Structure 1
C-alpha cells in the first residue's frame, strides 16, 4: 500500500528536516519550518536495468529553435532546445513578462504554437500589454492557476512552447498548502518537468526572487530545470541584462543586453557604448575606462570615482557595481603605494550603466579612477586600463587580454595600459606595459 511520509521544510531556503525545528541551520531563519506530506507511490514493475559501455551509447543531437532575439539566443547557446525546461528569474517589474511575450510572438512568427499561461493576470490585462507591445495575435492565452487545468489544456492544444507566469502563482489542488509555498512550488515544478519531457514541449517558468536576490522556492527548483536565467537591472536605468547561471546545453555566465522602451525590450547589439562616456572621446577627473569579460563577450565599462572630505565621523567607502571587500583592499593598496592619504575622505566608486563586475581584471581601472579623483587630474583621452592589482601593488596578467584589446581597438581607443610581460598580445594601438601601480603617476601630475 502507498504510504505518506512527513517532513518539515524551511519556507525560506527549502532545507528539509525529519522533525520540526525552531531555527533553520541552513539560512538562520526562525519559525520557518512547515509540515510537508510526501505521497509514496508503490513502485511499479519495470524492466531490469542494464549498463552499456560508453562507446555503445547512441549520441543524441539536441534540436534547437532560435528565438529570433539575438541577445537571448547568445545566452541560451544558440536557441531553445526542444523539450527543455527553463527558469527565468527576476525582481517584480523588471520586464520578465514583457520579454516572454516578445519571445512568444517571435515563435508564432516562425510557425510554432505557443501557450502563454498567467496565474496572476486576467486575459484582459495580458491583452492590453500585448497590444502595447504589438505582438502576434496567434498566441494562445490562458488565465488559470490550477495546474490540472493547465495540463489538460496543454495536452489538448499540443503547443511546442509553454510559458508559465509564474511558478509561484500555480497551485496543485491535491497539496494542502498555499500557492507559492515550498511544497506547492516543488510539486508543480515536478509536474511541469514531466509534462515537458514526455510531450517534448519547451517550457519556460517565471520565478520571483527573494530579497536576497535568489529565486523564491526550494533550492531543488534550480536543480530540476535545464536552464536558469536571471533578468537583472536597476529601475533607475533603461537597460536590462539577462544572465545565464546554469545551462545544460551551453556555456554559462553569458549575458544579453536589452533596453527597456515604451514598446518593450529592445536588443542592444553594441553594449560597450552604453557604459562609457562619449565613447571614450572625453575624460574627466575620477573617470577611467576598463574592460570586463562577460562569458565570451568583452564589454568596455567606465569607472567613476568621487572623493570628498568626511564630515560625518567615520569615512564612507561606497562601491556601486563592485565587490565591497575588493574595493577596500584596493584603497589600502593605493594608500600604501601611491601615498594618497584617504583616511579622512569619503570614497564613492560607481560602475556606469548599472553593470555589476566581479572579475579582478578591472582592478587597474578602479585604481586609476580613484587616483585620478584624488589628484584632480583627468586621465589621457582614448586610453583604457586592464590588469589585476596585487597586495604589493604589482600588476598581474589577466585572462583573454587579446580579446579585450581587440574590442577597445574596434571602438576607437588608441592606448591601453596592460600588465608588463604578458605574452601573446599584439595590437595596432599603443600598449603601455606597467609592472606596478606607482607607474600611474606619470599621467596624474
Structure 2
C-alpha cells in the first residue's frame, strides 16, 4: 500500500511546501502554513473524475487524452443563460439581477448572524418553481425542520409540557428524518429536499441522482473527503470539497449556495483559493445589538461588486428592507446639535445616513477620538483640516463621531457631513434637518467632486429634503432641490450654519472669525 505524504499548505494563498516554514515563500505571510496529510492516489469515480496526490480533481481517462480544439472568439455562442429570481429582491440586487444557473455563490458571516436562516428561506421560495437540495452538514433533518417551523417555512407538531411535568407529542410529521438518515427528504414544498450529510461522496452521489437546479451547502467547512486524513475544515479538505462540488455543478448546471465560516479577523476561513474557485463571494454582516443585516458583495463575476442588500431580523426570520434610508433616518431628532445627513452610495444604491458628532473638553492630557461606522483615520484627517484651514481649535478636545443605525460609511463622500457635524457640535448649533451634505474634503480645505451625484440627489429629493450642499463644478438637472455648490469647507460651514459666524475659541474670550488661517 502506498505511503501517505505530508505537505504544508498556506491558508492565505494556497501555496504548497514540502516542509514547514515560518513564512510562506509565495505570499510572505507568517505562520500561515498548515500540515496536510494526503493519500498518494484517491478516487471519486462516481462523478467520472479522480484526484491525484495533491488533492486536485482531474478527469478520469480510460485511454489516450483527447485534445480539445480551441475556438475563435467570434465562433463562441452568444446564447446567454437567463437568470432566475431568488424570491428576494435584495439578494437578486447583490447577485447582479438574479441567480445565474451553474454558478457558485459563497456566503460568509459571523456565527449566528443569519446565514442559514437566509438560505433556508431562499430555498423555500425557490422550491415553488425549482427542485432544491439543502445539504445540512451541521444539523440533523429534525433540527432543520424545527428551525423551518419557527420561521414559518413549514408547520410541524412540537412537544408540549403537561401538568404532571412529563412531555407528550401531539404527533409526528411524516416527512421528518433522524440524524442518521442520509436520504434526502422533502421539507415543505414537494421540490425542497433535505440531506443531513457530511461525507462529500454521499453529497456528490445525491447531486448526480437528484439533479436539483439549486443546492445549498451548509457549510463547506464541515464536509470531509474520506480519502484525506486531515480534519474537516483544514486547507486540503476545504479545497478538495470545493473543487469536487465545482466540477459537478458546472457539468450538471447546478447552482450552489455555499455557507463559509469566518475567522476572528472577519475573513472566510480556509485557503484563499476558496474565494478564487467560486463565482461570487458575499458577506453577511450586522451588529448583534441591531436588528438589520447587510448582505455585501465583494466578488461577482456576473455583476457589480460592493452592492448591498438590507434585511431585518424579525420573529419570523429575515425580512427585506426595500427603503433603507427610512430605516436609518426613521427615529432621528431633528433639533439635536451636532448632526448632519449624508448620502452614501453602496454600489449603485444611495442610502441616506445620519451622522452624529460630539465635541467636548478632554478630561486628560491627550484628547480622545472615537468612531462608530466611520473610518478613524478619516476623522483624524478632517479634524486636522478644520483646525489648520478653518481655524477651529480641536487639538485639545475629545471628538466622537458615529452613524445612526450602525451602518458603516467608508466612502469619502461623507467627509463634508463629518466636518459640518463636528463644527455644529463644537458650536452647539443645529443643522437644518432638510439639508444633505455630499463631498470629499481635501487636505487643503477644498471640497472635491464625488461620483453618482445625480443618483444621490434623486434619493434625497424623494425623501423630502429641500437643500443639498455639494462640490462646485457639476452641471445637474433640476431635481426639486436647492443645490448649493461650494468650493471650500469654510463655504460649506457658512451655508450649513447661517448666522453667528463668530465664535469664542480661546479661554480669554477673544472672538476669532472662522477661517482666519
Give the TM-score normalised by the residue count of structure 1: 0.94
1:145-184, aligned counterparts within 5 Å? 145-184=198-237
1:250 to 288, 303, 309: 303
1:437 to 467, 473, 489: 489
Between the aligned partners of 1:217 and 1:18, the Cα distance in structure 2 is 19
Between the aligned partners of 1:359 and 1:182, the Cα distance in structure 2 is 34
1:129 to 132, 140, 147: 147
- SS for the counterpart of 2:406 is coil
Give the match for residue 240 of structure 1. 293
- The answer to whether 1:96 aligns with 2:115 is yes
Q: Deviations over 1:170-206 (max 9, x none)?
A: 1111111011111110000001101111111111110
Between the aligned partners of 1:362 and 1:125, the Cα distance in structure 2 is 45
Given that residues 10 and 34 in structure 1 are in contact (C-alpha distance below 8 angstroms), is that contact kept between their aligned partners in structure 2?
no
Aligned in 2, Cα 1:290/1:180: closer, same or farther, shift over 3 Å?
same
Give the match for residue 175 of structure 2. none
Given that residues 21 and 33 in structure 1 are in contact (C-alpha distance below 8 angstroms), is that contact kept between their aligned partners in structure 2?
no
Between the aligned partners of 2:365 and 2:237, the Cα distance in structure 1 is 50
Q: Deviations over 1:346-402 (max 9, x none)?
A: 211111222122211111111111111111101112011011111011111111111
**Greater CA radius of gyration, 1 or 2?**
2
Between the aligned partners of 1:382 and 1:443, the Cα distance in structure 2 is 11
The offset of 1:158, in angstroms, is 2.1
Given that residues 14 and 217 in structure 1 are in contact (C-alpha distance below 8 angstroms), is that contact kept between their aligned partners in structure 2?
no
1:394-409, aligned counterparts within 5 Å? 394-409=446-461
- SS for the counterpart of 1:406 is helix
The offset of 1:16, in angstroms, is 3.3
Give the match for residue 327 of structure 1. 379
Between the aligned partners of 2:28 and 2:198, the Cα distance in structure 1 is 29
- SS for the counterpart of 1:168 is helix
The offset of 1:49, in angstroms, is 3.5
The offset of 1:304, in angstroms, is 0.7
Given that residues 102 and 252 in structure 2 are in contact (C-alpha distance below 8 angstroms), is that contact kept between their aligned partners in structure 1?
yes
- The answer to whether 1:376 aligns with 2:419 is no
Q: Deviations over 1:209-251 (max 9, x none)?
A: 1111111011111110111111111111100011111111122
Query: 427-436 vs 2-11, which deviates more?
Result: 2-11
Aligned in 2, Cα 1:7/1:294: closer, same or farther, shift over 3 Å?
same
Between the aligned partners of 1:126 and 1:302, the Cα distance in structure 2 is 39
The offset of 1:336, in angstroms, is 1.2
Query: 364-373 vs 49-58, which deviates more?
Result: 49-58
1:279-294, aligned counterparts within 5 Å? 282-294=334-346
Give the match for residue 276 of structure 1. 329
Given that residues 384 and 417 in structure 1 are in contact (C-alpha distance below 8 angstroms), is that contact kept between their aligned partners in structure 2?
yes
Between the aligned partners of 1:24 and 1:207, the Cα distance in structure 2 is 24
Aligned in 2, Cα 1:201/1:296: closer, same or farther, shift over 3 Å?
same
What count of residue pairs does the alignment treat as equivalent?
Answer: 442
Give the match for residue 55 of structure 1. 74
- The answer to whether 1:117 aligns with 2:118 is no
- The answer to whether 1:34 aligns with 2:35 is yes
Between the aligned partners of 1:31 and 1:225, the Cα distance in structure 2 is 22
The offset of 1:153, in angstroms, is 2.1
Give the match for residue 22 of structure 1. 22
- SS for the counterpart of 1:109 is coil
Query: 321-330 vs 215-224, which deviates more?
Result: 321-330
Give the match for residue 101 of structure 2. 82
Between the aligned partners of 1:318 and 1:35, the Cα distance in structure 2 is 43
Give the match for residue 264 of structure 2. 211
Given that residues 6 and 35 in structure 2 are in contact (C-alpha distance below 8 angstroms), is that contact kept between their aligned partners in structure 1?
no
- SS for the counterpart of 2:294 is strand
Between the aligned partners of 1:73 and 1:115, the Cα distance in structure 2 is 20
- The answer to whether 1:348 aligns with 2:400 is yes
User: What is the root-mean-square deviation in Å for CA atoms of aligned residues?
Assistant: 2.2
The offset of 1:47, in angstroms, is 2.8
Between the aligned partners of 1:119 and 1:202, the Cα distance in structure 2 is 18
Aligned in 2, Cα 1:42/1:299: closer, same or farther, shift over 3 Å?
closer
Q: Deviations over 1:130-153 (max 9, x none)?
A: 001111512211211111111122
Structure 2 unaligned spans of 5+: 39-51, 155-187, 501-517
Between the aligned partners of 2:316 and 2:212, the Cα distance in structure 1 is 26
Between the aligned partners of 1:252 and 1:56, the Cα distance in structure 2 is 29
